[in-house]
Structure formats: structure tokens, C-alpha cells
């Protein structure tokens, strides 16, 4: 609560400063040189960057390699959002702090874009299986792990940016079409890979692939809930051990950017293989420097899933 009060007070002062400079900003030729767009975490960054192209600069608010579920913006972060031409986030189901920021933003200066706004989010079905109910994540936000819903998010970003900045509409439309074509190819690859599968079950470290599973008629069983910080109960682990054995699961998937201790424990107890399945909640700076992208990681995920789905 103290953090919210302090942040709100500072935010108000920043807002007053922004208002006093609004006339000069409107006349600033640098504003006409290109849009400044702030995005929350990696998929939002890539989706937006692909739509914007060279029409502006797209930045990442949540630092590379940072787990986004529990991120809280600093006063500097909030000022960065206020000064941008647009702010793109996934949904309040993930960025639970976003209403504290957006309520104070002048939407005439900064377009606020919720990429998942037209997607019906699924309820957190895993909540009852863990030590503490995850009330901050009662809805599953991981829509981007489904290529079909990723396309929908790209279209929402395209349409809302076009509405806010109509002079760039043609460019946004053209850029989005080129990227959507790649996402459609990704969807086709997933569909074909799992079309004839008879073993359709996979076990993950946390419940980040529910939308992907539903899209391709698969079954995800997760050790932890929507948030990777949730700890499974002993009864949940016992239940999963039995599940792995009964369903002849060969692989348990963990995440490189989160603790894999529980996944390793379950794999050791059941004698199955460990493999990486990336929920793309963030990419490390090294991964980004090496040219890894949403598309390349999703292709790696497809290869990894084929170890289970046969």
C-alpha cells in the first residue's frame, strides 16, 4: 500500500509536469520524426515492433530476463509510459499493476493498447491445487503461447495504433500482414505436427501452455499454477507422479529462466527426461543479442513438444 501511495503521489507530479509541457510537445519536430512506444514484456515488444517497423521506436519496460508476473513499475518506469505515444500491454491478468498507471495517463497524449482485449481469458483451473490461491492470477494470461491468439493480439495492436495514428495506418497494415503470414506458418506447423498424434499429454513446470494445448487438442498437466512462484502441495506432487506413470509420460518440461527444482524432483522420482519448454514471458539479453525471437523460440518449443506428443 505504501508503494502505491508513494508512486501515485510522484505520478501526479509527473502528470502536472507533462501537462505544462504539452504545448511544446505538440510543436516538437522530434515527435513527428517517429513514434515512441513502450511495451511491457517480450512478446508485446516483438509483436509491436513488427507492426511499427521504422515508423517509431519500441522499447521494453520489464528488463530482459525478468519474470513478469510479479513485476512492479518504478516511478521512472511510470514516467517513461507517460512520455510515450503509446503503451502496449497484454492484459490485467498478467500486468496486475496496470490500472494504477493507466488511470493517470492522458489518453490524448498516450494511446493505451491492451493486446488481449478481444480474447476471452480462461479461468485459472490450477488454482485449487496449490498451497495458496493465486488471486492476482484468477484468469490465465498466457494467450501468446498460442500462435492463433498471437495473431489476434498482433491485429489488435495494428488496429489500435492505426486508430491513434492514422497517418501510419498503411505502414502498420503492411508490416502486420508480413508478420501475420509468419505466425500463420507457425500455426500450420503446429497443426501438422500434432494432427495424427495418439499420445497428446505433456507435463510442464507451470501452467503457461493451456491455450496452446486447447488450440491443438493437447492436454497440459502443470506442476505449479499460473504463476511459476506457486508451490505445489505434497498431494499435488503425488498426484502428478501417478499421472506421469499412468500416462507413460516420457518428458517433464522446465523453464530456463525460472527455478527448475520441483520439475527436477518429479523427473527424478519418475525416472523421466527433462527438457526445456519456454513460455516466452521474457528473453534474456543474451538470447536477444543472439537473435532469438518469439518465432524461433516457438519453433524450438514445437521440437521439444514432439518428444512427448507422438
Q: At 196, is the secondary structure helix, strand, or coil?
A: coil
Grid cell of 74 as nine digits: 518504478
Q: Counting runs of H as helices and runs of E as strands, what totals does the chain give? A: 13, 8
- For residues 40 and 106, state if they share a domain: yes
**pLDDT > 90? residue 187:** yes
What does pLDDT average to over the chain?
86
Domain end position, chosen among 167, 187, 207: 187
Among the ranges given (38-52, 143-157, 219-233, 243-257), the one the predictor scored with the smallest mean pLDDT: 219-233
More confident residue, 11 or 38: 38
Q: What is the average per-residue pLDDT within 15-42?
A: 61
How far apart CA 238 and CA 179 sit, in angstroms, is: 43
CATH at residue 119: 3.40.50.1980
Residue 217 and residue 178 share a domain = no
* Boundary of a domain, candidates 139, 156, 187: 187
Per-residue pLDDT, averaged over 114-134, amounts to 72
Asked whether residue 29 is assigned to any structural domain, the reply reads no
Task: Indicate whether 280 belongs to any domain.
Answer: yes
Residue 93, helix vs strand vs coil:
coil
Q: What is the pLDDT of residues 31-46, one digit of tens each?
A: 455 999 999 999 999 9
Residue 71 shares a structural domain with residue 115: yes
- Looking at the structure of the chain, the number of domains it has is 2
250 and 105 in a single domain? The answer is no
**Ordered strands of the 56-60 beta sheet:** 56-60, 35-39, 86-89, 111-114
Q: Which H or E element spans position 162?
A: helix 147-164
pLDDT value of residue 124: 75
> Contact at 8 Å (CB) between 89 and 156?
no
**Pair (157, 214) in one structural domain:** no
Structural domain contains residue 63: yes
Looking at residue 11, its pLDDT comes to 47
- Does residue 59 sit in the same domain as residue 126? yes
Greater model confidence, 137 or 273: 273
Average pLDDT over residues 117-137: 65
Looking at the predicted structure, is the pLDDT value of residue 233 above 50? yes
Residue 3 has pLDDT above 50, yes or no: no
Where a domain ends, among 187, 210, 226? 187
Could you tell me if residue 55 is inside a domain?
yes
Q: Is residue 168 located within the same domain as residue 229? A: no
Q: Which whole number is the average pLDDT over 288-301?
A: 97
- Is 22 inside any structural domain? no
Q: Indicate the Cα dihedral angle 288, 211, 88, 151, nearest 10°.
A: 80
Asked whether the beta carbons of 278 and 300 are under 8 A apart, the reply is yes
Neighbours of 276 (CB within 10 A): 15
- The verdict on residue 234 lying in a domain is yes
203 plus 300 within the same structural domain: yes
Alpha carbons within 13 angstroms on the beta-carbon side of residue 14 total: 20
Rg (CA), the chain: 21
221, part of any domain: yes
Query: What angle separates helix 2-20 from helix 75-83, to the nearest 10 degrees?
Result: 30
Domain that residue 213 falls in: 196-305
Residues 177 and 48 in one domain: yes
Cβ-contact 64, 284 below 8 angstroms: yes
Residue with cell 510537445: 25
In terms of domains, do 225 and 114 share one? no
189 dihedral zone (left: phi>0; alpha: psi -120 to 50; beta): alpha
Local confidence band at 225 (pLDDT 50, 70, 90 cut-offs): confident
Residue 310 in domain: no
CA 118 to chain centre: 15
* pLDDT above 90 for 251: yes
Amino acid at each position: 500500500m505504501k508503494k502505491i501511495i508513494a508512486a501515485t503521489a510522484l505520478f501526479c507530479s509527473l502528470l502536472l509536469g507533462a501537462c505544462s509541457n504539452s504545448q511544446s510537445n505538440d510543436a516538437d519536430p522530434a515527435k513527428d520524426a517517429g513514434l515512441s512506444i513502450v511495451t511491457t514484456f517480450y512478446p508485446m515488444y516483438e509483436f509491436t515492433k513488427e507492426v511499427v517497423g521504422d515508423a517509431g521506436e519500441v522499447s521494453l519496460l520489464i528488463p530482459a530476463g525478468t519474470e513478469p508476473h510479479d513485476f512492479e513499475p518504478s516511478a521512472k518506469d511510470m514516467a517513461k509510459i507517460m512520455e510515450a505515444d503509446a503503451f502496449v500491454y497484454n492484459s490485467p491478468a498478467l500486468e496486475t499493476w496496470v490500472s494504477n498507471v493507466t488511470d493517470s495517463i492522458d489518453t490524448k497524449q498516450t494511446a493505451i493498447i491492451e493486446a488481449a482485449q478481444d480474447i476471452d481469458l480462461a479461468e485459472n483451473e490450477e488454482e485449487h491445487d496449490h498451497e495458496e490461491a493465486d488471486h492476482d492470477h484468477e484468469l490465465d494470461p498466457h494467450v501468446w503461447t498460442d500462435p492463433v491468439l498471437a495473431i489476434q493480439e498482433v491485429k489488435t495492436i495494428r488496429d489500435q495504433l492505426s486508430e491513434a495514428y492514422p497517418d501510419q495506418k498503411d505502414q502498420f497494415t503492411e508490416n502486420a500482414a508480413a508478420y501475420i503470414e509468419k505466425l500463420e506458418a507457425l500455426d500450420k506447423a503446429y497443426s501438422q505436427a500434432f494432427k495424427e498424434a495418439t499420445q497428446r499429454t505433456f507435463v510442464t513446470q507451470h501452467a503457461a501452455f493451456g491455450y496452446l494445448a486447447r488450440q491443438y487438442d493437447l492436454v497440459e498437466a502443470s506442476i505449479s499454477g499460473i504463476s511459476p512462484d506457486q508451490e505445489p502441495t505434497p498431494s499435488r506432487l503425488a498426484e502428478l507422479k501417478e499421472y506421469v506413470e499412468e500416462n507413460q509420460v516420457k518428458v517433464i518440461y522446465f523453464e530456463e529462466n525460472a527455478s527448475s527444482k520441483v520439475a527436477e524432483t518429479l523427473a527424478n522420482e519418475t525416472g523421466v527426461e527433462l527438457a526445456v519448454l519456454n513460455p516466452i514471458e521474457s528473453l534474456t539479453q543474451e538470447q536477444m543479442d543472439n537473435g532469438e525471437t518469439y518465432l524461433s523460440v516457438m519453433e524450438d518449443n514445437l521440437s521439444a513438444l514432439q518428444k512427448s506428443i507422438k
